[in-house]
Chain A
Amino acid sequence: MPTLSVVNFNIVCATAGGFITLFGLVSYLFKEKFYLSEALISSIFGVVFGPHAANFIRPLDYANGSEIDLETITLYFTRLVLGVQLVLAGVQLPSKYLRKEWRSLAILLGPGMCIMWVVTSLIIWALVPNVPFLFALAVGSCVTPTDPILSNSIVKGKFADKNIPPSMQKIIIAESGANDGLGYPFLFLALYLIKFTGNHGLGVAEGGAGKAMGLWFGETWGYVIILSVIYGAVVGWIAKELLHWAEDRQYVDRESFLVFAITLAVSLSKPM
């Protein structure tokens, strides 16, 4: 007798797989004719089948009911997606792009990001009642980086090919790729200051603002940013040399060759 095995795993496979399949049938229509981004459509699907409506997808169940575990799952999921997307963004850019276009990028990433950060924080500070500016800075820093994934949907497709010149497509990709990682200094400047000076001195960690700034320069800039740049550059270079070496000797098959950048991204984004 046929029975339905209603396990979460099966439900997720059925709904998500079914959605992607069905959406695939009309994807060209939606994306290239109606110019609707797949992000919007998938989010609507997530809402409809999520716990707020149909309750087919129950994220909290997968985290065994723990909110914190759910947050961690989301954090690692976004980290994986960002990692893969950013490696692909880096791969898409032409040779030596970062060095060639450093002038434009420096403006967008230096003063540009600072202004975006401050403006966003000011709006938040003005509209959220009773909140210190430092808190607004912390929230603002989260939304300062432009998103490579949503940018991609703007930069790709028929609309972009018609209306955005290739040089501008490339600068959008480069900017959204680079500023994602550079959100760290903004965020941690605010977070360290809150940790070491906030709460009217009650329960504040030892050290005050001096310690906060020390941590910010040492940890965030010295450790996180500079080390990541070096680490990324070294790994990227070694991967390139290895792939060249193997390709020259014809050790690589086509499938592995194509997937190389993606697996590189997965391996980079996990252990760190």
Chain B
Amino acid sequence: MIGSDDVLACFIAGNVFTWDDWFRLETKDDSLQPTIDMLLNVGVFMWFGAVCPWHLFGENNVIPIYRLIPLGILVLLLRRLPMILVFHRFIHQVEDFRRALFLGYFGPIGVSAIFYLYISKEFLRDVTYQGGERLDAAHLSEMMDVVVWFLVLCSIVGHGLSIPLGKLGLYLPRTISTALSSDRLSFAQSTARDTSETDLDRDNARDIASVFRRRRPAESGDATPTTPGALSRAPTEPPTDTARNAVKPADSGGALDARSSLAASNSQKNSNARPVISAPTNPRAIGRAIHNVANSTHAQDSAERLHRSIRFGDEGGNAA
């Protein structure tokens, strides 16, 4: 109607439409949008497969096939990768070099390229000379047909196959994924967590820590009054230390024991001064202390411990 850029307008409209996050959160768990999304994708790529001018790649007046193939490979490799590698330090979402590699490699060419291809062909049809399409315009039109379609195919095949090929053990995406897991690995070693989980776990751990902190007073309120004997051994650590413990929820090794007994001996004197309920304590250490000292409440507390560890697993699983 007014000949403007509807594609940009759509993106802006979608963004403004959910500026207050209301619509996004309301429809987040609904599957209607992904379903329509999928139907349109399947439809448009099926159409592409059917209308793609295959015969042009073999015979055209623009570029022979033995130059077209290197062109496709070079464009896939160089179009975006160097740019991202240069700029990635300015983009705070890209945390390291490996992620920059990923972001740089996966810059697919697809529906928008075909869209622009036909916009320009429409434009070029109107560039006329002596009653016909101008010769150079016609040449450009053919060249765009060949090159753009070929690049789109390269991208569909190249980007579509790199993840499965990488999963099969070929080298490029494996380096990406091991790279992505490398910092996770060092983190996981320190926390004795399952290394097969994602490196999103760092964020999760932070979340868990905050959950833990919130949950703490209630738990210590449950656990401590029933086990007065344990109090002398239970560590009443300073809050900062507890926070560190909470970040490593699955830590059940000897280090904690050593630390807790140390903390216990440290806190022997101030455990009297400090009100027990408000003092943040490590639940596992309490459990251990209970196990040693108060056998009568053991079953109940180990059940609670079990419950708690299941909750950890769920939290990790949900967020991952």
Q: Which A residues contact B (CB, under 8 angstroms)?
A: 16, 19-20, 23, 34-40, 42-52, 57-59, 68, 70-72, 74-75, 77-98, 101, 103-104, 107-108, 111-112, 115-116, 119-120, 123-124, 127-129, 131, 135, 138-139, 141-143, 145-154, 159, 161-168, 170-172, 177-178, 180-184, 187, 191, 194-195, 198-199, 202-203, 205, 223-225, 227-229, 231-233, 235-237, 239-240, 243-244, 257-262, 264-265, 268-269, 271-272
Contacting pair B147 A128 (CB below 8 A): yes
Complex Cα distance A36/B156, Å? 11
Q: Which B residues contact A (CB, under 8 angstroms)?
A: 1-24, 26-27, 30, 32-33, 36-52, 54, 62-63, 67-68, 70-71, 74-75, 78-80, 82-84, 86-87, 90-95, 99, 102-103, 106-125, 127-130, 134-137, 139-140, 143-144, 147-148, 151-153, 155-157, 159-161, 163-164, 167, 176-177, 180, 198-200, 203, 320
With A81-B40, A149-B44, A258-B27 in contact, do A237 and B9 touch (Cβ < 8 Å)? no
Contacting pair A240 B200 (CB below 8 A): no
With A119-B78, A168-B103, A272-B3 in contact, do A90 and B12 touch (Cβ < 8 Å)? yes
Partner of B1, one of A142, A146, A272: A272
Main secondary structure of the interface of A (DSSP, over half): helix
With A16-B43, A81-B111 in contact, do A45 and B23 touch (Cβ < 8 Å)? no
Contacting pair A258 B32 (CB below 8 A): yes
Contacting pair A236 B49 (CB below 8 A): no
Contacting pair A233 B13 (CB below 8 A): yes
Contacting pair A239 B13 (CB below 8 A): yes
Complex Cα distance A68/B159, Å? 30
Contacting pair B114 A91 (CB below 8 A): no
Contacting pair B83 A116 (CB below 8 A): yes
Main secondary structure of the interface of B (DSSP, over half): helix
A-B contact count (CB 8 A): 460
Partner of B121, one of A71, A97, A150, A239: A71
With A90-B15, A187-B120 in contact, do A82 and B147 touch (Cβ < 8 Å)? no
With A257-B26, A262-B36 in contact, do A111 and B47 touch (Cβ < 8 Å)? no
Partner of A91, one of B27, B78, B137, B203: B27
* Chain B residues positioned under 8 Å from A47 (CB to CB): 49-50, 52, 54
Since A44-B49, A149-B41, A172-B106 are in contact, a sample of 15 more A-B pairs with Cβ atoms closer than 8 Å, ordered by chain A residue number, is A39-B110, A47-B50, A75-B122, A87-B10, A112-B83, A120-B75, A127-B70, A129-B63, A163-B198, A180-B11, A194-B127, A198-B136, A244-B22, A258-B30, A269-B7
